[in-house]
Chain A
């Protein structure tokens, strides 16, 4: 019986961790739980003074999973149910034109070398949150088909298997692109396929190993299908793996679909995910995970439009010209031109999913706005994120305060039932949420008459 033993071991490790964190939080300056996260939402977040820790706060919600009939919580008048359970670390979602839903199940490549003693401790703590995915059957795409739209798929099949830490998917015509952690791979797809067995063709390699710290490669195709945009996260928190490891990272690459040639479209984006086009302006938007270990309220993660050639600060600065003292050599020339992002989401929430809502199933108030999935914090004593929020938009720009949309991923005592990652809108206009810790895809619809 392996499972109960593992479970006991994990409990023991969590107690040790809790004791460790108590000591750590006192060394780090007792009681610095951070301020009200809502002060850091919107275009002009308050940015406190930087903290340099002796030990950074490490508080990860212990995973308890969903009990039978437990679901996340949605606003009144809406309904949430599991579209599929028992998945293996589902991280992102893609809806094909015929309504079939692709669930990208993916785990961390696990190739990050141990460069110093801290990496041993951090690896152990990450394993507690299973954010890397410890499952055996992962790194595949599962297809779900729900023809009658009742939220209960009639078909569930392994669509593509044996992938390399995949994340983004984009379909252009009959070409299906999968962004593995080290390459964009093209597969032939015909409407109605439930399985692809043809071998893929590499369109272009992407920055992957040997460190591959931020490994999720978000992918979106331009409206005319000629260009792919792919997000490549940084290879470190703040260049501690060396500047050489950051080549062509912390960036969005613009890839020519015909040839695979690419260029840096925007840079200084520490870990960009959820690449999406805002429907009204047609502009490219992304959510970005900002840097850690500067304090409970630094640095706020954000949602931003992405300008061609724009530099957004990482690693040298944040929110424009706020210089990070941990980066040497300094680059005042780059700091001077760093663009402040459009909309802060508050610190350490870890946004990984973004979708603009252009459908009509959900109430009028959600139309045209953006949903953002916040995977949840580790680097502050009071947890932040662990929910899906709604950001209203007007005239192609965020307009007003973000609202909690899907909550209940945490129990009242800060244990994680699940953690939201990728988002998509299905053919019926329902919002889909990939929950990589709860191993579930959730579906939010209007409650109906």
Chain B
């Protein structure tokens, strides 16, 4: 233990933590997938369901990368783990990725049942979780100063 034990990020580039650089991608993709799922359910135009399938896969890829960076920070620094929002933020986002993985599988079905109802329900649940885990993540940075330079 040094006297300057900090909340610094391990996965970082020139003291810029990688995790917050990546998290906008899955958030935007999963919200986008909800929008295209809703549009498909209203129009039955397959193009919208195809958009959802791409958005889910892109969101998963970027989400896994964000998770790797986040987990490196989480596991490498006991002080980060000790912050109150850390565990719920991590578990909530793992849940987002697991649900979205199953959602991507549902979206490989052909036609209407690739979205309605299961895919649409999963998209809604994921988008409801995202503001909660996002709020916890912002708390980590803006309230507790995780990854913020001294």
Chain A positions within 8 Å of B, measured between CB atoms, are: 27, 52-56, 115-118, 236-242, 293, 324-329
Contacts and interface: CB of A to CB of B under 8 A. Distances in A.
Contact of A242 (B45, B108, B109, B113): B45
Contacts of A329: 44
A116 B54 contact: yes
A117 B54 contact: yes
B105 A27 contact: yes
Given A325-B112, A328-B111, A54 B45 contact: no
A52 B46 contact: no
Contacts, number: 58
In the A-B complex, list the 10 residue pairs whose CB atoms are closest, starting with the nearest.
Answer: A326-B111, A240-B110, A328-B44, A116-B53, A54-B105, A328-B112, A118-B108, A116-B50, A242-B46, A117-B57
Contact of B110 (A27, A55, A236): A236
Given A54-B105, A54-B106, A242-B45, A326 B112 contact: yes
A153 to B, nearest CB: 44
B47 interface: yes
B79 to A, nearest CB: 38
Contacts of B104: 117
Interface in B63-119: 102, 104-114, 118
A27 B47 CA distance: 26
Nearest to B118: A52
Nearest to A242: B46
Contacts of A242: 45-47
Contact of B111 (A54, A55, A239): A239
Interface size of B as a range: 20 to 34
5 contacts: A117-B104, A240-B110, A240-B111, A242-B47, A326-B112
Contacts of B109: 52-53, 293, 326
Given A116-B54, A117-B57, A240-B114, A55 B108 contact: yes
Interface string B33-73: 00000000000111101100110010000000000000000
A272 to B, nearest CB: 20
A52 B45 CA distance: 20
Nearest to B46: A242
- What secondary structure prevails in chain A residues at the interface with B? loop
A76 B53 CA distance: 53
A325 B113 contact: yes
A354 B86 CA distance: 66
Considering residues A53, A116, A242, A325, which has the most beta carbons from chain B within 10 angstroms of its beta carbon?
Answer: A116
Nearest to A324: B111
Nearest to B52: A116
A241 B44 contact: no
B53 A118 contact: yes
A326 B113 contact: yes
Contact of A237 (B47, B49, B50, B110): B110
Given A54-B102, A116-B53, A242-B47, A327 B112 contact: yes
Contacts of A53: 109
A241 B50 CA distance: 9
A240 B46 contact: yes
Nearest to A28: B105
Contacts of B44: 328-329
Given A236-B110, A239-B110, 15 more contacts: A53-B109, A54-B105, A54-B106, A55-B108, A115-B46, A239-B46, A240-B49, A240-B114, A242-B45, A326-B110, A326-B111, A327-B111, A328-B44, A328-B111, A328-B112
A317 to B, nearest CB: 13
Considering residues A52, A55, A115, A240, which has the most beta carbons from chain B within 10 angstroms of its beta carbon?
Answer: A240
B36 to A, nearest CB: 12
A239 B50 CA distance: 13
Contacts of A241: 46
A238 B110 CA distance: 6
B39 to A, nearest CB: 13
Contacts of B45: 242
A117 B57 CA distance: 8
